[in-house]
Chain A
Amino acid sequence: MFLESLPMIFVLIGLVFYVVLGGADFGAGIWQALAGGGEEGERRRDIAHDAMAPVWEANHVWLIFVLTVMWTAYPVALGSIASTLAAALLIAGFGIFVRGAAYALRSATTTPREQRRIDAGFSAASVLAPFALGAAIGGIASGRVPVGNAAGDLISSWVNATSILTGALAVAFSAYLGAVYLCADSVRHFGSDQTEWFRARALASGVVAGALAIAGLIVLRADEHRLYHGLLAGDGLPAVIVSVLAGAGTLALVAARRYEPARYSGALAVAAVVAGWALAQEPLILPGLTVSQAAASHATLVAVVIAVVAGALILFPSLALLFRLTLGGHLGGHGGTASEAPSTTREVLAASAPKLGLRAAGASLLIGIAGTNVVDAAWARPIGVAGLLGFMVLGFLAARPDLDTG
């Protein structure tokens, strides 16, 4: 039983990371649209862009993580969700696509006018993507995705009161998180002249997000009783309380200009919402389908758990490094001075090596051909591949491609 739920816990953790980090990223995009005109607006847009450019790709992989663990560990659930919610997911995918394309395009812009145009597309997509993803989640949460290949309705599964509300909530949360993060970032290394602007937006969007959440409960009550009861009377209640407290706490922290802790309490508020949803819906994923029924076979679950734990051991230190460097202002900028680099006398010595290297490359190639093309046996393949690789590396060094000899 525990093993069957463990990958779901990974999925939910991944989802929280995506909502928090990806959400802030969407939020930054939304504020680019609302940054206003003139030089001030330019500056705000740059702050929002520069804060996210080094991290957006990594933030975005959380979504891929959620998808892949889902389809490995709960294949039937993912197949049902993807086929019924195809339209919403396609729109989300489109939004994510446009955002990524905008990052790529912006790297080649030269004039502010070009940048503004690209930022406009970027911002529109930053609203579209979280809305569609939120709406899809609303469809799942309100039991509109039955088990089966496209068994639910292509449209009403995500165009309904609950979905529209969760979609709007997702946008509001994103804007809120984005503003809080940009407060912290702009204080840190863009100089604080724009911080007050982001602070006001953080406070306003926080209030809007809170109001939407309350409105949400009312809509939920009308639309889908089960989830409503789960959230307000069942297992979800503690999480809802944590979320309300953390949300209010974040507002207070932003008001007090304590942006660093506000980042974390804002994340906590979002995490609690996701946890509350999971607890309220548990043990079901889809109507009539429990987590354990949806789970893949034992061996697959064990493999997923091993892979995720092992992956996490590499991932988290790397992520920590990335964020430490970004937050510490160690990343950024394109121009600047050339670093000094030592020239070495070993170069002269190395110059006589090519002849030898070339012979070694030839020998390696022969081993490679023997192992890949002549001997038809499994054991010979690794030797063959090693030989071919050796040929390429030795041949490359012997060709001295970095030296211009005329």
Chain B
Amino acid sequence: MLAEALGPVQQQHLLEARQMQALSFAVHIPLVCFGTAFPAMVLFTEWRHQRTGDPLLRTLARRWTRVMVALFAVGVISGTILSFEMGLLWPNFTATFGGVFGLGFAIEGFSFFMEAIFIGIYVYGWERLSPRAHLLSGIPIVVSGFTGSLMVISVNGWMNHPGGFRWVGGRAVDVQPWRALFGNSHFWHELVHMYLAGYIVTGFCVAAVYALARERGRWSRYERTALAIPLTVAALAAPVQVLVGDWAGRSVAKDQPTKLAAMEGLGKTTKGAPVHVLGWYSGGEVKYGIAIPRGLSLLARHDPNATIRGLDAVPARDRPPVNVVRIAFQTMVGIGTLMALLGVVFLFTRWRRGGLPESRWFYRAVVAAGPLSLVALIAGWVTTEVGRQPWVVYGYMRTSQAVTGAGGIPVGYATLAIVYAAVAVGVVWILTRLARAPLPEAGG
């Protein structure tokens, strides 16, 4: 199969191009988690302030707003780099399939407009709008954060499970873009899973800041409230994420058996296949892992005797790098399970006793959960994206066919890496600065 609207090219730097893409995602996606979930938390806090009159909640909402707007700006620019890269790195992907998937991004553009417009109004309207108008102006931010995720994930879902077109002589014909994007069974679990991930990441990261403050001896009502709100969000989303992850796994088993085989290191097609925890894939099987007999068949098919397709079902050139995918997957699931436990502990304390946990270990775990949630997030995307390799459009176009023929990719990659390193330093600087800045007004 040859899918090349622009004609074939030789690109010796395919690997660099892929890494450049991966790097850009690894920067953008954590930032957009804050773009999707933080506004909801800020709005909740402002709403409670308006209902109760508690000035502390207002202080909190305003401080968070400043962090939110700084992260938003960085999210916007990293997203812009991604949009450029879509054409710069993968022109043949856009040229061949732009007509099929592009609609999702075109609609996403409007989401960005709404988000940017109302962020402008919300952030700069604290002093000048009536309380009610200000609260209302925040709602479109939350909504467009959701629709933005929806649109971009619809594209990713389509890449993983393409449909809505006929394939004739290396060209997509009879294109039905609405069906391709939204009539796709593979996209819903990705949307829900990613959206929850946004709340988990934001919740744990923000909570980690105040848990750290507690370690350092700052533990007034301000810190306690600032910890409780995001932590409750994350604690609820984390166990639910495990349930959604199970759904995701079963969808992958159905639509992308090769990816599933790579995630589990299943070399041969097996009836009643086991699950391995830890270990290393080599020579067609998992070595040094702990095997749970029939576990995979049970998880993926709800039937302990089901037959699961192994990697041997496809030729070697159609297989993803197994260990990368598998380790990424295990990392996500491991971290996800631990965070779910942490969440359950917190919820029980809160629901039963109404207060906050007292153990120092709990707060140390929260401090760790912040960065770990980011690791799980990226690991999940590595599972999805690397697991799809060598395809960019599963079963239709290889990543090597999508890549640009332009030279200079290593230069672009190096530049980008330096820029992102600078951005990372910048973000840290901004956040520590904002954390040290005096409170906008005194809180109780």
Contacts and interface: CB of A to CB of B under 8 A. Distances in A.
Contacts of A385: 188, 192
Interface residues of B, dominant DSSP: helix
A104 interface: yes
Interface of B: 4-7, 9, 44-45, 48-55, 57-58, 66, 69-74, 76-81, 83-84, 86-88, 91-92, 94-100, 102-103, 105-110, 112-114, 116-121, 123-129, 131, 140, 173-178, 185, 188, 192, 221, 224-225, 228-229, 231-233, 236-237, 240, 243-244, 246-247, 250, 302, 347, 350-351, 354-356, 404-408, 412, 415, 419, 422-423, 426-427, 429-431, 433-434, 437, 440-441
Nearest to B432: A108
Contacts of B9: 149-150
A344 interface: yes
Interface in A54-87: 54-55, 57-58, 60-61, 63-65, 67-69, 71-76, 78-84, 86-87
A204 interface: no
A72 B106 contact: yes
A115 to B, nearest CB: 13
B98 A71 contact: yes
5 contacts: A72-B103, A93-B80, A108-B431, A300-B175, A396-B232
Interface in A18-77: 53-55, 57-58, 60-61, 63-65, 67-69, 71-76
A14 B51 CA distance: 42
A384 B243 CA distance: 10
A297 B404 contact: no
A289 to B, nearest CB: 12
A315 interface: yes
Given A58-B120, A96-B77, A82 B87 contact: yes
Given A78-B95, A97-B81, A319 B113 contact: yes
Contact of B6 (A55, A73, A76, A335): A76
Given A338-B441, A392-B237, A296 B87 contact: no
Interface stretch (A191-199, A211-219, A397-405): A397-405
Interface of A: 53-55, 57-58, 60-61, 63-65, 67-69, 71-76, 78-84, 86-87, 89-90, 92-94, 96-97, 99-101, 103-105, 107-110, 147-151, 154, 296-297, 299-300, 303-304, 307-308, 311, 314-315, 318-319, 321-322, 325-326, 329-336, 338-344, 346-347, 354, 358, 368-369, 372-373, 376, 378, 381, 384-385, 388, 391-392, 395-396, 398-406
A314 B405 contact: no
A335 B440 contact: yes
B412 to A, nearest CB: 6
Given A58-B113, A401-B228, A96 B80 contact: yes
